[in-house]
Amino acid sequence: MKILITGGGGFVGSNLVRSLESKSTDFEIIVIDDFSFGFKKNLENTKAKIFEGSILDDDLLSGAAEGCSAIVHLAARTSVPRSVADPISTHLINATGTMKVLELTKKLKNAQLIVASSSSVYGATPELPKIENLPTRPLSPYAASKLATEAYSLAWAHCYNLPVLAFRFFNIFGPQQPPHHTYAAAIPTFLSAAFQNNPLPIFGDGNQTRDFTYVDSVTEIIISAIENKTSYPEPVNLAFGSQTSILELIKEIEKILGRNLPVNHLPPRVGDITHSYADNKILQMLFPDVKATKLSKGIEETIAWFEKERPWEDSP
């Protein structure tokens, strides 16, 4: 089975490559990535065939997808703050790029498409937990572009009879998540600071909550979706309904590291939401056998990777 992963050199993509290879030798894995946010190092010692370049390059994308029976579309310009700083690039890669992937999928013979949306689409909608049928009220260009990603994908599924599955990712974490750029996610940022004996930066009071999801649970669900050619006519939350505050997260890290960690409170960031956790009834219906990795276990494994790889020393 030939599978194309857009953005396969990134955090989730490279973990998916390795999970697919450990699952079966029958998967032929193709990656397209311009490595603007992903890293070639993430794909070392894998058998993935790499097409280096942008998903906006029609010829390159078409060549990468030739003969594929599944496409996992992860390529994106990620991060809320990054999108606020550069909204046009975010739109081009996330929205226009998705449309190019959709148009390509139409040309393939009955290929399945799995796309990554984001919990950020809920935005200013205050209700908890986040149920898929809640109104979407994006608070950032990134969130708006991800809403476009899922809306285009599900519209193409309806109009052109494509098997599409649109996941709303929540706060995924784990090994190979980069810690060293301005817009890094919370857990790698905190671990990078901790290993360098620097204060952990907290935007706001730290009482904001997130539904942290370990990357292995995400890749397990994606692989199950590929194997069973799962599709669904609406977006699907990919998270397990936990609610952890930033301060609680830091306490968990302190417990595992066995020491107190200094913090530095900074002003809240524009576009960030206050509270988020998922209703996962649809996910459980579609994937009843997949269980969440406990937050503590996921952090332990991420810390072990940090200790081995020392990613804070890599150049941005």
Positive or negative: CA dihedral 43, 47, 51, 56:
negative
CB-based contact 177:11 (threshold 8 Å): yes
According to the model, what pLDDT value does residue 182 have?
59
Residues 6 or more apart whose CB falls under 8 angstroms from that of 4 comprise: 30, 31, 32, 64, 65, 68, 70, 71, 72
**pLDDT for the residue 37:** 87
pLDDT of residue 183: 56
Overall fold of domain 2-170+215-238:
Rossmann fold (3.40.50)
* Mean pLDDT for the chain overall: 94
pLDDT at 316 over 80: no
pLDDT-above-90 percentage for the chain: 87
For the cut 70, the answer to whether the pLDDT of residue 68 exceeds it is yes
Picking from 27, 28, 41, 31, the residue whose alpha carbon sits closest to that of residue 6 is 31
Would the pLDDT of 147 be above 70? yes
All structural domains of the chain with their residue ranges: 2-170+215-238
Structure-token pair, residue 117: 């949306």
Distance CA 255, CA 120 (A): 29
pLDDT at 315 over 80: no
Mean pLDDT of 100-106: 97
pLDDT in tens, 150-195: 999 999 999 999 999 999 999 999 999 988 765 568 999 999 999 9
According to the model, what pLDDT value does residue 153 have?
A: 98
Whole-number pLDDT of residue 78: 85
> How high is the pLDDT of residue 181?
61
Q: How confident is the model at residue 99 (pLDDT cuts 50, 70, 90)?
A: very high
pLDDT tens-digit readout, 265-298: 999 988 788 888 999 999 999 999 988 999 999 9
Please tell me the predicted confidence (pLDDT) of residue 314.
75
pLDDT at 81: 84
pTM of the entire predicted model: 0.94
